[in-house]
Amino acid sequence: MHEIVRPSTTLPALRTPFHVITSDGIDLIGEVAAPLGVSRGAILTLHPLPTAGGMMDSHIFKKASNRLPAMAGITVVRFNSRGTTSEAGSSTGAFDNGNAEALDVEAMLTYCFDTLELKNVWVVGWSFGTDLALRHAKDARHKGLILLSPPLRTTNEAELMYWNSDPRPITALVPEFDDYLKPDEARIRFAIVPTLKIVAVEGAKHLWVGEPFVHQVLSQINSIVTGDLAELPLEI
């Protein structure tokens, strides 16, 4: 008997908490949610602004970890950036508006490749996390960036221009009613990176509240990571 996928749906996965120490001694806490079978790819998630409540458990990323390992064979790596707290615990250090967080991103990408030995890794940033991705996720081993609700709050023009010299794909999912950067403005702001693909999501807002929008986001992530064109199922 099939059941509808709901906000609380948690599907089977191998869930492993971890600690990663950055080059400046910060202790990052997080969790890996891996498929019970073969992993077809992986995402490293960079969460929204911690001073506004963003953390590794922010709902899109929590639901990704609850669903994508079983539904798509995708490994989901979540962590709290420095100075950030969630139910899983607190990472040490202090929020630095995306500057010292460069060392967090560097440490986590190294962890994904050197310790977890993941393949087909994509970096998924949401809001504040999109600035971290654009500014700091330059490790040559990941496959590309997926940006959810990019505000372009701290990313400067030179940091954007970097991606014109990097062939890896970038897809930005931009809500129609975003609080910070709506699709038309996003097209203007991102015009200096002509290879960046903007997907305008009708009816959505910055926080992607509502199961239809969660389903769209996770389906897009799955398509980019695995190549599956069909949307994720609505029933399991």
Spatial separation of the C-alpha atoms in residues 146 and 150, rounded to whole Å: 10
Q: Indicate whether 8 belongs to any domain.
A: no
Query: What distance in Å separates the CA atoms of residue 157 and residue 152, rounded to the nearest whole number?
Result: 10
Instruction: Say if residues 7 and 211 touch (Cβ distance below 8 Å).
Output: yes
What pLDDT, on a 0 to 100 scale, did the predictor assign at position 2? 83
Q: In whole angstroms, what is the distance from residue 169 CA to residue 97 CA?
A: 25
Residue carrying the six token digits 């509502």? 210
Total domain count for the chain?
1
Domain carrying residue 168 = 14-225
Over residues 98-103, mean pLDDT: 98
Asked if the structure places residue 233 within a domain, the reply is no
Per-residue pLDDT reduced to its tens digit, 115-173: 999 999 999 999 999 999 999 999 999 999 999 999 999 999 999 999 999 999 999 99
Q: Using an 8 Å Cβ cutoff, are 148 and 123 in contact?
A: no
Within a domain: 9: no
In a domain, 232, yes or no: no
- Write down the pTM of the prediction: 0.98
3 falls within a domain: no
Place 188 in a pLDDT band, splitting at 50, 70 and 90: very high
Confidence of residue 1 (pLDDT cuts 50, 70, 90): low
Strand runs labelled E in the chain: 14-21, 27-34, 41-46, 74-79, 85-86, 89-90, 121-126, 145-148, 170-175, 197-201
Residue 7 lies in a domain: no
Q: What is the mean pLDDT of residues 58-72?
A: 98
* CA distance linking residue 8 with residue 110, whole number of Å: 31
| pLDDT for the residue numbered 170 | 98
Strand partners, 19: 29
Residue 1 located in a structural domain: no
Q: Whole-angstrom Cα distance, residue 102 to residue 133?
A: 9
Averaged pLDDT score across all residues of the chain? 97
Q: What is the pLDDT of residues 19-57, one digit of tens each?
A: 999 999 999 999 999 999 999 999 999 999 999 999 999
Which CATH number fits the domain that encloses residue 170? Answer: 3.40.50.1820
Is 133 part of any domain?
Answer: yes
Instruction: For 144-160, write each residue's pLDDT tens digit.
Output: 999 999 999 999 999 99
